[in-house]
Amino acid sequence: MNKTPSEGESFVETTVNLLLDIQHVSVIFAPPFTGLFDMDVNPPFYAAAQNCHWENSGALTGEISISMIRDCGATFVIVGHSERRQIFGESNDWINLKVKAVLAGNLKPILCIGETLDERNAGQTTSVLKKQLEKGLIGVESLENLVIAYEPVWAIGTGVTANTEQVEVAHSSVRAILKALYPESDIMHVLYGGSVKPENAEELIQISGVNGFLIGGASLDIESFTSITRIVEHVQMRTL
């Protein structure tokens, strides 16, 4: 819940102009709903909503439908973000309804999964991720238009970043779970989100199984956001 529409418009315009030369990275802007309207971006830049409702219309005051989001020009919708799960109590069942609604509306869900600190300390990370993926993807036949974002809840907004081993193990678990559900899952992108900043972006993006980032606080500052983007771009160029 940051940036007014005018602030967001200025942020996006400036950021796009600073990154016009990127060739190997896609950049997705996910402002509040008020910032989606009239966001004029073209590939490799995209717009995403932070949330949605699964119904297309009705007596659901305060909610936003997929058709409304699509009419604003968005391509992606974030579903199941840890703050929606933890603060607003969204269940796996609700998140599954949203995933299916986004896909039915010809948009692309970014499905967020992740464990709390208590769950990690109890050795439940893999079981939590398995449950969130299995329940969140019920009825989804293909992962072709879907992105997964692993965001350890204990590393979001805390300044604490999961170490490389923790990230690699978690992403490996996610890949294995997805492979069992969808044999073709090797093609999909799995993002990491959790206190990503310019200082750790190069190390994190080179971890096996990490295909990109879901950036929180560092995305609010143009300098840090563009810096992270360029770091990923340079790593991508080196690996081609």
Closest residue by Cα to residue 160 from 198, 195, 126: 195
CATH number of the domain to which 35 belongs: 3.20.20.70
Task: Write out pLDDT tens, residues 183-196.
Answer: 999 989 999 998 89
Answer whether residue 155 shows pLDDT above 90.
no
Task: Write out pLDDT tens, residues 90-146.
Answer: 999 999 999 999 999 999 999 999 999 899 999 999 999 999 999 999 999 999 999
Answer whether residue 156 shows pLDDT above 80.
no
Per-residue pLDDT averaged across 170-179, rounded?
96
Going through the chain in order, the beta strands assigned E by DSSP cover: 27-29, 45-49, 76-79, 108-113, 147-150, 190-192, 212-213
Answer whether residue 160 shows pLDDT above 90.
no
- The pLDDT mean for the chain works out to 95
Q: How confident is the model at residue 221 (pLDDT cuts 50, 70, 90)?
A: very high
Answer whether residue 157 shows pLDDT above 80.
no
The whole-number pLDDT of residue 240 equals: 72
Answer whether residue 38 shows pLDDT above 90.
no
Q: How confident is the model at residue 239 (pLDDT cuts 50, 70, 90)?
A: confident
Per-residue pLDDT averaged across 59-77, rounded?
97
The whole-number pLDDT of residue 158 equals: 73
DSSP state, residue 110 = E
The whole-number pLDDT of residue 45 equals: 98
- Domain carrying residue 225: 5-239
Active site amino acids: 81, 151
Backbone torsions φ then ψ of 66, nearest 5 degrees: -60, -40
Q: What is the number of structural domains in the chain?
A: 1
pLDDT over 70 percentage in the chain:
100
Vertex 168 angle, CA 164 and 172, to 5°: 175
The whole-number pLDDT of residue 162 equals: 83
- Neighbour tally for 125: CB within 10 Å: 19
